[in-house]
C-alpha cells in the first residue's frame, strides 16, 4: 500500500466533512461509541468504514493493485527477500488433497493447485537507527546475516498477512511484523502466498504448508539452517489467521488419517507424523468465510467492516480481468460448496485435539463470535488456549490503533505468547481468558470453555443456511464481497 504523505492526503481530503461531523458528534456525546472511544479512534474507524463501504463497488483488480503497492523498506527493520523453491516431488500436494477429501464429507469442488516457488521476507528488528533510515545497499544474503546478528532468541514466526485472501502482501505488513520480531527478540518469515480470485483455495494453504516444511527442512541454497518445530509459531491477522489455523488443522488431519510413512520434500524423506509448531497466535482471525455468526451484525457499531447486505441491495462487482472467474465461482476464495470445509473455514473443524497452544486476540468486533466458537471448542478438547478480547475495539486494532493502550497491550500479549511457547521458557501455559474494559483495560477473567454462544449443531445449521442462501442468489458470480 502507498502510505506516502501525498497519497494519504489525496485519500483524506474528500473525507474532511466526515471528520468534522465525527468530531462534532463525539464532542457532544451524540455518537453511540463516544463513551468507549477517544476522538482519534472514532475518526480513524469512521474513515476506514467509509472507504470500505463506498456506494459504488471498486473493480477487484484495482483494489488488489492498490493494496500491493510497496511502501519501501526503511527505519527499524531488517528485511531479506527470499524465494523458497518448489520441490520436484509432488507429495505435499498429494497429502493436502488427501486431507481435503477426508474432511470434505458430503462433497465440494476445488481445483488442483500447482506447487510453485513461494516468495517471502525474512524480517527482523534493526536497532539504533532513525525511523527514516534507508535500507542498506546489500545483497539479500547480507541483509539476512545482518538481521540474524541482532536476533537473540530462537523464536521464529511464520507470518501470514491479512487482506481477505485477495489483498495485501508482506510489504503491507512490515511494520507490525518487525514489531513482533522486536518484542520477541526473534525473526519472522512473512509469506507472499498466492492471492485469490486468481489462485483459489487451496493455493494459499499449499504455500503456507510448503513454507512450514521449508523451515523444518531447508531446500538447497536456503539462507537459514533447519528450524526445530518447537521454535516456530504460526502467526497472522484476519485472513492470515484463517490460514494459520487451517495449517494447524491440516497437519492434525495428516497425522490423524494419512497412511503414508513419509513425505518426500527436496530429496528428503520427512517421517510422519509431522511435528506441530510450538503455537499458533492470531489477531482477529477470520475463521468463518460464510459470515454466519451473530456478531457479524450485533457488533457492527464497533467495527469498520461492512456488514453483509441483502441480495436486493448489494451491487455486483464490476467485471474486470480477474472477476468473474472462468468458470464462474460464487466466492472470491473458493467454490461456495467449500465454505463450510474445515480447511476453508476453521469454524467448521470438529477436532482440535492434540493441537499446539493457541492465542486469540480480538476486539468487540464482527468476527468475535466465530473466534469464540473455535477457542471454546479447542479448550474443551484439551488444547491450551489464551483468549483476550478488548471491549469496543474493531477488527485488527493492534495493527491499526497502535497508539491506544489497548493496541499496545494487545501487541505485547501477542508477542509474549510467542516467546513463551517458542523461546525455550520453562513456564507452562494454562488456558486463560481475559476481557479488557474500554479505555482503562481493566481485566476481568472469563471462562474460555464457555465462550461459545452457539452449540456445534447451531453453528453447522447457521453455516448451511447462509451457504444455501448464497447459492440461491449467486447467478454465476458473487454478490457479496467480504472486505476484511
pLDDT in tens, 74-117: 999 999 999 999 999 999 999 999 999 999 866 789 999 999 99
Cα separation, 79 vs 269, whole angstroms = 31
Q: What is the enclosing helix (H) or strand (E) of 292? A: none
pLDDT at 476 over 50: no
Asked if residue 120 lies in contact with residue 192, where contact means CB atoms within 8 angstroms, the answer is: yes
**DSSP secondary structure string, 8-72?**
HHHHHGGGHHHHHHHHHHHHTT-STTTTTS-HHHHHHHHHHHHHHT-SSPPPHHHHHHHHT----
pLDDT tier at 306, thresholds 50, 70, 90 = confident
The C-alpha cell 489455523 sits at 245
| Predicted pLDDT of residue 12 | 67
- pLDDT band of residue 314 (cuts 50, 70, 90) is very low
Give the tens place of pLDDT for each residue, 23-65.
998 888 889 899 999 999 999 999 998 888 766 678 999 999 9
Give yes or no for a contact between 155 and 185, defined as CB atoms under 8 angstroms apart: yes
**What is d(CA 140, CA 147) in angstroms, rounded to the nearest whole number?**
10
Predicted TM-score (pTM) of this structure = 0.95
What are the b/e assignments for 130-161, b being 16+ CB within 10 Å? eeeeeeeeeeeeebbeebbebbebbbbbbbbb
User: Strand (E) positions, 114-186?
Assistant: 118-124, 156-160
CB of 125 closer than 8 Å to CB of 154: no
For β-strands 279-283 and 232-237, DSSP reports them as: parallel
The whole-number pLDDT of residue 307 equals: 76
**Closest to 122 (Cα-Cα) out of 65, 164, 84, 69:** 84
**Which of 289, 275, 249, 262 is closest to 100 using CA atoms?**
249
Q: Which three cell numbers mark 460?
A: 453447522
Convert the pLDDT of each residue in 1-25 to its tens digit: 555 555 656 666 778 888 898 899 8
Res 447 pLDDT > 50: yes
Q: How far apart are CA 278 and CA 263, in angstroms?
A: 21
> To the nearest 5 percent, what fractions of the chain are helix, strand and coil?
40, 15, 45
Q: Please provide residue 205's backbone torsions phi and psi, each rounded to the nearest 5 degrees.
A: -65, -40
Rounded Cα–Cα distance for residues 124 and 120 (Å): 13
**CB within 8 Å of 407: residues ≥ 6 apart:** 397, 398, 400, 401
Q: Which residues lie below 8 Å from residue 163, measured CB to CB, with a gap of 6+?
A: 67, 169, 172, 195, 238, 239, 240, 484
Q: By CB neighbour count within 10 A (0-12 exposed, 13-18 middle, 19+ buried), where does 120 fall?
A: buried
Reply yes or no on whether the pLDDT at 312 is more than 80. no
Amino acid at each position: 500500500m502507498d502510505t506516502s504523505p501525498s497519497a494519504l492526503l489525496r485519500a483524506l481530503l474528500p473525507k474532511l466533512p466526515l471528520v468534522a461531523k465525527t468530531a462534532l458528534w463525539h464532542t457532544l456525546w451524540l455518537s453511540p461509541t463516544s463513551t468507549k472511544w477517544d476522538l482519534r479512534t472514532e475518526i480513524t474507524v469512521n474513515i476506514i468504514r467509509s472507504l470500505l463501504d463506498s456506494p459504488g463497488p471498486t473493480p477487484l483488480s484495482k483494489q488488489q493493485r492498490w493494496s500491493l503497492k510497496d511502501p519501501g523498506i526503511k527505519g527499524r527493520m531488517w528485511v531479506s527477500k527470499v524465494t523458497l523453491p518448489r520441490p520436484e516431488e509432488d507429495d505435499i500436494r498429494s497429502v493436502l488433497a488427501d486431507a481435503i477429501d477426508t474432511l470434505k464429507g458430503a462433497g465440494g469442488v476445488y481445483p488442483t493447485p500447482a506447487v510453485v516457488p513461494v516468495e517471502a521476507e525474512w524480517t527482523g528488528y534493526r536497532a539504533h537507527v532513525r525511523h527514516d533510515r534507508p535500507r542498506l545497499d546489500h545483497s539479500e544474503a547480507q541483509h539476512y546475516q545482518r538481521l540474524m546478528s541482532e536476533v537473540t532468541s530462537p523464536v521464529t514466526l511464520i507470518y501470514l498477512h491479512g487482506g481477505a485472501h485477495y489483498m495485501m502482501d508482506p510489504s503491507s505488513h512490515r511494520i507490525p511484523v518487525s514489531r513482533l520480531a522486536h518484542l520477541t527478540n526473534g525473526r519472522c518469515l512473512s509469506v507472499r502466498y498466492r492471492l485469490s480470485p486468481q489462485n483459489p483455495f487451496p493455493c494459499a494453504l499449499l504455500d503456507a504448508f510448503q513454507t512450514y516444511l521449508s523451515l523444518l527442512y531447508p531446500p538447497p541454497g536456503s539462507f537459514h539452517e533447519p528450524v526445530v518445530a518447537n521454535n516456530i509459531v504460526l502467526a497472522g491477522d484476519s485472513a492470515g489467521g484463517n490460514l494459520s489455523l487451517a495449517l494447524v488443522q491440516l497437519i492434525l488431519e495428516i497425522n490423524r488419517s494419512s497412511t503414508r510413512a513419509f513425505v518426500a520434500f527436496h530429496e528428503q524423506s520427512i517421517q510422519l507424523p509431522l511435528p506441530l509448531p510450538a503455537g499458533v497466535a492470531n489477531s482477529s482471525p477470520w475463521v468463518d468465510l460464510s459470515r454466519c455468526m451473530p456478531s457479524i451484525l450485533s457488533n457492527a457499531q464497533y467495527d469498520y467492516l461492512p456488514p453483509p447486505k441483502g441480495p436486493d441491495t448489494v451491487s455486483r462487482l464490476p467485471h474486470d480481468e480477474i472477476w468473474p472467474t472462468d468458470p464462474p465461482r460464487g466466492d472470491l476464495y473458493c467454490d461456495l460448496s467449500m465454505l463450510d470445509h474445515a480447511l476453508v473455514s476453521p469454524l467448521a473443524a470438529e477436532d482440535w485435539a492434540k493441537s499446539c497452544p493457541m492465542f486469540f486476540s480480538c476486539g468487540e468486533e464482527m468476527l468475535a463470535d466465530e473466534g469464540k466458537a473455535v477457542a471454546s471448542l479447542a479448550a474443551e478438547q484439551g488444547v491450551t488456549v489464551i483468549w483476550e478480547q478488548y471491549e469496543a475495539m474493531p477488527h485488527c486494532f493492534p495493527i491499526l490503533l497502535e497508539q491506544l493502550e489497548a493496541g499496545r497491550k494487545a501487541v505485547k500479549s501477542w508477542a509474549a505468547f510467542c516467546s513463551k511457547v517458542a523461546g525455550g521458557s520453562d513456564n507452562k501455559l494454562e488456558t486463560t481468558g481475559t476481557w479488557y474494559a474500554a479505555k482503562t483495560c481493566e481485566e476481568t477473567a472469563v471462562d474460555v470453555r464457555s465462550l461459545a454462544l452457539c452449540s456445534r449443531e447451531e453453528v453447522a445449521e447457521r453455516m448451511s443456511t447462509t451457504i444455501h442462501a448464497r447459492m440461491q442468489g449467486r447467478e454465476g458470480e458473487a454478490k457479496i464481497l467480504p472486505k476484511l
